[in-house]
Amino acid sequence: MKKGYVYAMMAAVAAMTVSGCSSSSSAPASTAAESKTEAAASSESGTTAADTSDVKAAVDTIKFGLVAPLSGDNGAYGTKQEKGYELAMEEINAAGGVLGAKLELETYDDGGDASTAANGAQKFADDDSILAIGGSCLTSCTAAMLPITGDAEMPQLVVSSSAKSLTGISDYFFRMAVQDAAVGPQIANQFTKMGKTKAVTLYCNNDYGSGLKDSFNAQFEANGGQVLDSVPYQATDQDFAAILTTVKSLDPDCIALCGTTTDGALIIKQARQMGIEAPIMGQPGLYSQNVIDIAGDASEGLLCSGVFVAAGADEKGQEFVTKYGEKYSGEVPDGFAALAYDQMYVLATYRAHREDRRPAADAAERAMKENGGELTRQTLAEALKATEYEGVTGTVTFDDNGDWVRDYLTLTVKDGKYVLYEE
């Protein structure tokens, strides 16, 4: 892709007033790992040529930045991401760091505002000690940051920002997140499996909500279902009586909810109060304790897409859940926390996490071994492209667009907790 075209796309996306959000059992990974470079492939002994020398880091610290909503309506996304990063960094540092270098994190609260996110990206881009940026959680914020991180040749990694418009937009953009283009069909296919044929789509009137709505509607109709209506709302709305009156009059047998945590929870609560009983399914952003806290008993039976669920996690996932709860006063990690935890290991090292680590996954460590202990933004980006990491959220690889392509889980709320949905 030509650079001029890429930045034209960035500018167009950054101008949008949109925001999009995304979120154990490990789901199957894509076959993208098969196309990784020879340098990244593990040998039969589990080592690469880069592992043959005893290289030490040329610096004492490796610094990453996080730009995310740490306050405001979307603060739950950013704070969970920060906690996932912190836990992973604490483990890595306790095990000796990355070739002796300790990890540090600097944060910048974008408050869910695109211009503020751009300011945060510029602050970190101008600081040569910051090697990569995590965030933001929202499509509009991420889009505003990308021209800045692209110009700085700085890796930018997200655990959300799921809009199709960001696909392939920069060589330095890595997305460990569900994709709207895949989530919409997943919701449609789940309803079809349940025998549902008449849907109403409720969507937040922005790029994220519109994109998810379009992908759901197309797949549901392709499955032979009928979309009775697609009803927009504003992310700042609090009272949904008017649109829910429309929904009730249409009498759908399922509802696709294309929104975010707070607005989604309010819609769920008010829908049940109005006697709307059709099953509701939405995106990974609905996997949040905040949804249960706001919607209360109305959240029971809610369906959502995801990549991780604490209840019933495998051994690796349960170890993470336990450590997270111990560090954060009994909190249960959601998909954002789990993805961030894995993402920090992808950025840094396997060393503290697995005895049978595969060197192809530890980007910072491998890049330093290949460059005499030195680490730059550019060498880190190249190492990230060859990632193959077995984490608590599944096998992480990136395709040629920097996207994590994988299958997703279907979660539900049962007895006040998120669990895997069982047919």
Q: Per-residue pLDDT tens for 269-284? A: 999 999 999 999 998 8
Residue at 11: amino acid letter: A
Strands 394-396 and 389-391: antiparallel
pLDDT at 19 over 70: no
* 330 token code pair: 């009994």
**For position 11, what pLDDT does the model report?**
42
Residue 133 in 3-state DSSP? strand
CB 233 within 8 A of CB 210: no
Arithmetic mean of pLDDT, 354-359: 45
Q: What is the pTM of this model?
A: 0.81
- d(C-alpha 38, C-alpha 26), whole Å: 26
pLDDT at 25 over 60: no
Give me the half-sphere count of Cα atoms (radius 13 Å) on the Cβ side of residue 223. 25
| Mean confidence (pLDDT) of the chain | 85
Query: pLDDT (tens digit, 9 = 90+) per residue, 322-336?
Result: 999 999 999 999 999
Helix (H) or strand (E) holding 341: helix 335-347
Arithmetic mean of pLDDT, 81-95: 95
**For position 138, what pLDDT does the model report?**
87
**For position 104, what pLDDT does the model report?**
98
Q: Which of 111, 160, 183, 127 is nearest to 343 (CA)?
A: 160
Concatenating the DSSP letter of every residue in 53-90 gives S----SSSEEEEEEEE--SSTTHHHHHHHHHHHHHHHH
Query: pLDDT (tens digit, 9 = 90+) per residue, 31-54?
Result: 333 434 333 333 333 333 334 357
**For position 423, what pLDDT does the model report?**
78
pLDDT band at 28 (very low <50, low <70, confident <90, very high): very low
Domains in the chain with CATH codes: 3-178+316-396 (3.40.50.2300), 181-306 (3.40.50.2300)
**For position 238, what pLDDT does the model report?**
94
**For position 181, what pLDDT does the model report?**
83
